[in-house]
Structure 1
Amino acid sequence: MPDGWPREDAPFTSATDGVAKAVEQAKELAGDGDVAIATPSITRQCLNLGLIDVIAVDLVPVLLGKGVPFFSGLDGTPTKLDTPTVVEADGVTHLHYRVRH
């Protein structure tokens, strides 16, 4: 667990039994709420295991030139996605894709 945790204002649950168990625990804790995945490695693992229902991409007009690709190295590709829901805002376009299982 990171130094300084747990904190009352930001609870933290550590999962050491693999990503599938971590997502299961997160869903139990979330109840009717959403569970978000936010790193390339964990996102790829969850997609490979069929654990992701929606992919949300926030597109901003900046080219960084470097970084870690979220969607490289996926098993069983191509992964089929539905037509996105698009929400435009100042400086960002939000894209939400349902994953076809």
Structure 2
Amino acid sequence: MSTVYTHMTMSLDGYIADPDDGIDELFGWYQAGDVAVPTADEGLTLRVDPDSAEVLRGFVSGTGALVCGRRLFDITDGWNDNHPVGAPVVVVTHRPPEDTKKWPRTTFAGSVEEGVARAKEIAGGKDVSIASADIARQAVDLGLVDEVQVSLVPVLLGRGIPYFAELTGAPHHFDDPVVVQGKGATHLRFRVRRAE
């Protein structure tokens, strides 16, 4: 059965990018070590410490589909239809691009619920990753997320794009974290605690 998780690299003050979508201050840990972690993108090999490598290998091997929003999809140009984890992408949007044939491995969905359901079908039992902050926020509020994962970077951005903002269903509760200490990032995995 698929685990639906969201993972972001985040600053200590809760931001996943600066106000201009810049990630340079956050993504340094992806090249902070000696262990090579190949991705589905032949031009991108991550070089991290051994413990971070295990975390990343889990993402690459365990993810069967990825859900994102239209904004991230546009910023990355759809990862040229080859996201680094190698999984097909489901884009949640009310306005799909005119030429969807440009991205044959990408599906477009009109709501977060539809996007997660479609991603579970595509994943075929593998995990589903939610890669956009706004989509993650909505999915948590809708009770669709099983795990929240954070790669916490030792930097304060002061302002930017928050991981979770304006949650309507808060508070949300989680089990104690699984902690993996990496070089340049501490990886935290929280299981969502379901209401009984």
Task: Find runs of 4+ consecutive structure 1 residues off by over 6 angstroms.
Answer: none
**Residue 5 in 1 paired to residue 99 in 2?**
no
**Residue 66 in 1 paired to residue 163 in 2?**
no
Gaps of 5+ in 2: 1-96
TM-score between the two structures when normalised by the length of structure 2: 0.46
Say which structure is richer in strand: 2
1:86 paired residue number: 179
1:21 paired residue number: 114
Deviations 1:35-92 (A, max 9, x none): 1112221011101110000000000112222212222211231100000000011111
Which letter does structure 2 place at the counterpart of 1:80?
A: H
Which letter does structure 1 place at the counterpart of 2:157?
A: L
Alpha-carbon shift at residue 2 of structure 1 (Å): 7.9
The count of corresponding residues between Structure 1 and Structure 2 is 97
Native 8 Å contact 2:141 2:170 kept in 1: no
1:100 paired residue number: 193
Residues in 2 aligned to 1:64 and 1:46: alpha-carbon distance in whole angstroms: 25
SS of residue in 1 equivalent to 2:180? strand
Residues in 1 aligned to 2:146 and 2:183: alpha-carbon distance in whole angstroms: 27
Residues in 2 aligned to 1:93 and 1:49: alpha-carbon distance in whole angstroms: 27
Question: Share of identical aligned residues, percent?
Answer: 47
RMSD, aligned CA: 1.7
TM-score between the two structures when normalised by the length of structure 1: 0.86
Residues in 2 aligned to 1:28 and 1:75: alpha-carbon distance in whole angstroms: 27
- Where relative contact order (Cα < 8 A, 6+ residues apart) is larger, the structure is 2
